[in-house]
Amino acid sequence: MSNGPKTSFRAALVQMRAGRDVDRNVADAISLIDEAAAQGAQYVQTPECTTLMELDQARLMAETKPEGSNAALEAFTAAARKKQIWLHIGSMAVKVGERRLANRSYVIAPDGTIAARYDKIHMFDVDLGGGEAYSESVNYQAGPTAMLTDLPWGRLGLTICYDLRFPALHRALAKAGAKLIAGPAAFTRTTGEAHWHTLLRARAIETCAFVLAAGQGGLHENGRETFGHSLIISPWGEVLAEAGIDPQVVIADIDTAYVDQIRRKIPSLTHDRDFSVVIATPAKSPSLVHEQ
């Protein structure tokens, strides 16, 4: 019998369709978390905006609480302790100032303690056209720090949604030892249809890591439409588990020893080279001289 480190575990993604009522969202999330635990999941991840999907600024501020007096967070720590699981709340809004919020992930250990916090670094400030625009930085402050935490089966790097478009962050996490990278999200239907699968598979392939991304899916009370399709991707870019649009749980069995195998085959994380960037200026064509 092997006495080496544990590398195999069962992971679950909880896909949600969060609305404007925090208590209802928390209850829905815990119901799905319980379902995942009943299927043997040892690590369970929820999506971005687990506790609230709200576009109205006044209501968003009124419904969001500081970490120290946050009933939703207390409910999630109790759920992790009750089910004896690693519970990763993909993100929830947390008040950090009178009119400022953090979009914060929590990794909660089976004893109910908070193992890691991560504040989303890259703010979703985009104009997709057709009246669909988002300005996350109006209400949220960007986090300054990339974050990793050690699970029993390997190191986990934390990202949230729009961070997915920044490969340098993912590479930094992988080079810091991440064998698992979390990407909980609330991707819009527009961008999800175009980019979700491609970006997640690219990040997994580039980092030779498992990528786990729980999503929001469907038409929400606030009128926003999200893409769903929560995904677990292998270091080789294979889709191991995928959801549809509706709230549900998806499961995959993961062995982080596979990461080491892939990184031995393609050790691209050790092949960085310094380089300079040059913009070449085309030489001007010599003037034509006409003989008289």
Return the active site residues: 48, 120, 161
* Burial grade of 127 (CB within 10 A; 0-12, 13-18, 19 or more): exposed
User: For residue 172, how many other CB atoms are within 10 A of its CB?
Assistant: 15
Q: What angle do CA 136, 68, 83 make, to 5 degrees?
A: 95
For residue 23, what are the contacts with CB-CB under 8 A and spacing of at least 6? none
CA 256 to chain centre: 19
In angstroms, the CA 219 to CA 176 distance is 37
Q: Which residues pair with 100 in a beta bridge?
A: 97
The values of phi and psi at residue 285, to 5°, are -65, 135
SS3 57: helix
The helix or strand, by DSSP H or E, that contains position 25, with its residue range, turns out to be helix 22-38
Q: Which residues pair with 89 in a beta bridge?
A: 106
Helix axes 22-38, 71-83, angle to 10 degrees: 10
